[in-house]
Amino acid sequence: MSQTIAFQGVPGAYSDLACRHAYPGWTTLPCPSFEAAMKAVRDGEADLAMLPCENSLAGRVPDIHRLLPDSGLSVIGEHFERVEHCLLARKGATLATIRKAHSHPVALGQVLKILKELDLTPVIEADTAGAAEMIAKNGTMEDAAIASELAAEIYGLEILRRNVEDALHNTTRFYVMTRERRLAAASEMLNPVTTFVFRVRNMPAALYKALGGFATNGVNMTKLESYMLDGNFTATQFLCDVDGHPDEPHLFRALEELRFFSRELRILGTYPASPFRLAHEGV
């Protein structure tokens, strides 16, 4: 029986490509929103969801932090996908005929050199693969898209130039999520990473005291993001990634100290570190 993984976007999106690279042979399920991808997993339409959480150039992905805690899903893995932008156009178009580049605004901001070199007018679209689909259906010889090689393959477009991104380290990190809340024992997981959210108590130096336990117990914190809840400037939630498993003594003690100073603490998942993360430690 084929297994299915959901993503936000249309076929050919970078999230689609990430699904195919991380889970070759699986059926990918395009969804119109992050919420829809999560719902597909909750409803049993998909086994997993691949959700972007941050990009090495653009920073965190909006809405993901807000949606994760109440999604009813658990994080069981991470995947890092190198973003390789291609300049796509209809068959017959050339670098000399194109005048406009269509894509998502973040993607357009990552290809400023090629836009200047070819004197292309940027045109904002909802997403990269959607831009490719639009050009395949309604584009002219003057229209190009900034999208993936997969989008070119799906929509029958020519690749006029590969790797047109300004920064070669452009990488997106994804959370892999499932509806089953399971946690392998610490002894069964190599190089574990734990993701959790918390809200500190309304008291002086609460955040400083809450995070102190990670320092005193030697826990490496690789991510700490803050964001408002319900538009309230005084209600702040934090999303964290740390090295370690909650059952390991050093992280267990750090989390106990965090609980003492927190109004709420929820572990979203513990999973093996990606080989990409391990290869780039200390870089």
260 is known as an active-site residue? no
> Which residue out of 4, 172, 178, 195 is catalytically annotated?
172
> Which residue out of 7, 34, 80, 174 is catalytically annotated?
174
Nearest CA-CA partner of 147 in 57, 83, 94, 92? 83
Contacts of 282 (CB under 8 A, 6+ apart): none
Please write down the HEC assignment for all residues of 151-211. HHHHHCCEEEECCCCCCCCCEEEEEEEECCCCCCCHHHCCCEEEEEEEEECCCCCHHHHHH
Regarding beta strands 221-229 and 171-178, do their DSSP bridges make them parallel or antiparallel, or are they unpaired?
unpaired
172 is known as an active-site residue? yes
Please list the active-site residues.
Answer: 172, 174
